[in-house]
Homo-oligomer: A and B are copies of this chain.
Amino acid sequence: MPARRFAFLGPAGSFAHAAAGRLAEDGAELIAYGSVSQAIDAVHDGSVDAAVVPLESSVEGAVPATLDALTTDRPLVILAETFLPVVFDLVARPGIGLDGVRSVATHPHAEAQVRRYLLTALPDAELTPVGSTAAGAQAVAAGRFDAAVAPAGCAELYALGVLAHDIADRPGAVTRFVLLGRPQPAPPPTGNDRTTLVAYLRENHAGALLQLLTEFAARGVNLTRIESRPTKDQFGEYCFSIDCEGHLADARVADALTALHRVCSGVRYLGSYPRRDGSQSPLPPGAQDADFTAARAWLAGVREHGPG
Contacts and interface: CB of A to CB of B under 8 A. Distances in A.
Interface of A: 56, 58-62, 75-77, 174, 176, 183-186, 202, 204-207, 209-211, 213-218, 222-230, 232, 234-236, 238, 248-249, 254, 257-259, 261-263, 268-271, 277, 285-287, 291-292, 294-296, 298-299, 302-308
Nearest to A248: B303
A59 B228 CA distance: 14
A207 B216 CA distance: 10
23 contacts: A56-B230, A58-B234, A61-B232, A75-B308, A77-B307, A174-B235, A183-B306, A183-B308, A185-B304, A185-B305, A204-B222, A206-B213, A206-B223, A206-B226, A215-B218, A224-B236, A249-B303, A257-B302, A258-B295, A262-B291, A262-B294, A269-B306, A270-B307
A226 B205 contact: yes
A227 B228 contact: yes
Given A184-B305, A223-B205, A304-B185, A295 B218 contact: no
A305 B206 CA distance: 29
B215 A213 contact: no
Contact of A206 (B217, B238, B299): B217
Contact of A232 (B59, B176, B227, B304): B59
A230 B306 contact: no
Contact of A296 (B185, B228, B249, B258): B258
Contacts of A217: 206-207, 210
B77 A202 contact: no
B306 A186 contact: yes
Contacts of A205: 223, 226
A295 B184 contact: no
B235 A262 contact: no
A176 B234 CA distance: 12
Contacts of A227: 228, 238
Given A75-B307, A262-B292, A263-B286, 4 more contacts: A60-B230, A61-B232, A206-B217, A224-B236
Given A204-B222, A218-B211, A305-B183, A56 B249 contact: no
Contacts of A183: 305-308
A254 B303 contact: yes
